[in-house]
Amino acid sequence: MQNSMIESLKLEVRPALAEEKSILGNLLELYVHDFSEFVDVSLGVDGRFGYQHLDSYWEDPDRYPFLILSDGKLAGFALVRKGSAISNESDVWDMAEFFIVRGLRRLGLGTRASREIWTSFPGKWQVRVIDVNQKALKFWARAIHEFLGESVAPVAFEQGGLDRHVFCFDSA
């Protein structure tokens, strides 16, 4: 796709309403399915992976669910939370989950959506990536570089038996 065509794709990142929880749940199924390439997740007896913390995004004031749309059509989602998932820092924004559907990847939508989120929540950020997901690691390195105008080296750590990396930066 030509650059001008990519740039002309309309992007909207908006809060997911409580009545859209099932839509976000459906997108999470696609996300976990993609993620199952890297981690051991099993389908439930209902044929769904499920997402344990979905309800909390409408119940906890420190969690924020977003739908990402391109040209008015669903393109993905982002789940943001206040508080570090790897330390006791409460003043850190955490990109808990982020997903762009496969057919719309590599069009700049993910980079633009993440930039919009980081701008909307100024302050310290952490973006975690499992080590085996090298495409995600490269995506986040590139997106953060484009946002900040400089590179941020990810820090390696282990959590839940998985090797991971975390990018730490300030969006203010």
The pLDDT tens digits for 63-99 are: 999 999 999 999 999 999 999 988 889 999 999 999 9
Which pLDDT score is estimated for 6? 54
22 burial class (0-12, 13-18, 19+ CB within 10 angstroms)?
Answer: exposed
* DSSP letter, residue 102: G
CA distance 11 to 29: 22
Contact assessment for residue 21 and residue 68, using Cβ atoms and an 8 Å cutoff:
no
CA distance 127 to 165: 8
Which pLDDT score is estimated for 47? 77
Tens digits of residue pLDDT in 20-70: 999 999 999 998 888 777 777 887 788 788 888 899 999 999 999 999 999
Which pLDDT score is estimated for 2? 43
CATH topology assigned to domain 8-170: Aminopeptidase (3.40.630)
- The strand pairing partners of 67, in sequence order, are 14, 77
93 sits in which H/E element? strand 92-100
Provide the terminal-to-terminal Cα distance of the chain, rounded to the nearest Å: 33
In 5-91, beta strands by DSSP E: 11-15, 63-70, 73-82
CA distance 169 to 172: 9
Contact assessment for residue 146 and residue 111, using Cβ atoms and an 8 Å cutoff:
yes
For CA atoms 1, 11, 34, 25, give the dihedral sign.
negative
pLDDT-derived band at 161 (thresholds 50, 70, 90) equals confident
pTM, full prediction: 0.90
Which pLDDT score is estimated for 4? 46
